[in-house]
Amino acid sequence: MLQFLSRNKRPLFLLLVLAATLTFFARDIHSTHTPTIFNRLFVALLTPPLRITAALRDGATFMWRRYISLVHTQRENELLRTQRDALLVENQLLQDQVRENQRLRELLDFRQRIPFRMIAAEIIGSDPTSWFKSFMIDKGAVDGVMHGAGVIAPEGVVGRIITVASTSAHVLLLIDVNSNIDAVVQRTRARGIVVGTGHDRCRLAYVLKTEPIEPGDRLLTSGLGGFFPGGILIGSVVSVSHDAGGFFHHIEVEPAVNLSKLRNVFVVVPEQGAPR
């Protein structure tokens, strides 16, 4: 410490003198009612650096407050983003619940409107092979499900039961090549058989060329064959064509039910097989 004072005694002495001088003149300025020329000159000399110092101090204070404000704003933004994400997830869950409730209401309304007995079932699996277009449902013989019974949805025909276990059953879809459903054209009452193609569509077979079938015509179950009651929508005609030497139309049909999005179905229960 002594070495530092000894080594810097001249600068320290000058700073001390300057401080004493500033103190003296500051007191003189405050105590003198009529400033002298020297006082005014001294004030004039001190004013620019004091203004610069004040500006720097104010600028530093502003920047510091702005930094603190930005940090606070960033934290608020992070909190708001977290709350927003939580609300988005909650909103998605609520929308899914609304859709589920709407779907259940539609199923209940459909069940009440159809004038025959039905068993509500849920799809629990699909055929893992490509040999059949089918799926499994969670209702079986103990619930009253019978072999050959028709399977429908609110939109229309789905397929029919081909195997029955005690608590489950296997449904063959109407698009399977082994499926055939007796149908009637709603507009003209022409008869035919809807058969599966193994793809997403069906075809209406055995309709004579003399029948005026057009794209957009709706196909309904005829009620014959014992699988379905009459009047259930099967699908709509997409295209109509024929060979020059043939007797029948070639009619492509779009199923009424989107089979890839099904979750619940109804099994049509014949009166003699209805649960008591």
Q: How many domains does the chain have?
A: 2
Whether residues 109 and 176 share a domain: the answer is no
> How far is residue 160 from each of residues 35, 146, 177, 183, measured CA to CA in Å?
113, 10, 13, 15
Both tokens assigned to 102: 């709407």
Domain boundary among 113, 148, 167: 113
Mean pLDDT of 195-219: 92
Whether residues 263 and 135 share a domain: the answer is yes
Whether residues 155 and 87 share a domain: the answer is no
Distance, CA of 133 to CA of 202 (rounded, Å): 12
Residue 11 confidence class, pLDDT cut points 50, 70, 90: low
H/E stretch holding 77 reads helix 37-113
**Highest-pLDDT range among 18-27, 212-221, 245-254:** 212-221
* Residue 5 covered by a domain: no
Whether residues 54 and 138 share a domain: the answer is no
H/E stretch holding 239 reads strand 233-241
The residue segments making up the domain with residue 74 are: 32-113
Q: Which tens digits make up the pLDDT trace of 88-136? A: 766 766 676 776 677 667 666 666 666 678 888 999 988 755 567 899 9
For residue 142, what is the DSSP state?
Answer: G
Whether residues 135 and 67 share a domain: the answer is no
Whether residues 233 and 263 share a domain: the answer is yes
Q: What is the pLDDT of residue 274?
A: 40
Q: Is 188 helix (H, G, I), strand (E, B) or coil?
A: coil
Average pLDDT over the chain, rounded to an integer: 77
Distance, CA of 94 to CA of 30 (rounded, Å): 74
Domain boundary among 64, 90, 113: 113
Cβ-count burial 68-98 (b if 16+ within 10 Å, e if not): eeeeeeeeeeeeeeeeeeeeeeeeeeeeeee
Q: What is the pLDDT of residue 273?
A: 43
* Residue 11 covered by a domain: no
Closest CA to 39 of 54, 49, 24: 24
Share of the chain above pLDDT 70, in %: 64
Whether residues 87 and 190 share a domain: the answer is no
Which of 1-15, 49-63, 95-109, 220-234 is the least confident region?
1-15
Which of 8-12, 147-151, 182-186 is the least confident region?
8-12
**Do strands 264-268 and 150-153 pair parallel, antiparallel, or not at all (unpaired)?**
antiparallel
Whether residues 200 and 133 share a domain: the answer is yes
- The enclosing domain of 138 has a CATH number of 2.40.10.340
Whether residues 219 and 142 share a domain: the answer is yes
Domain boundary among 69, 93, 113: 113
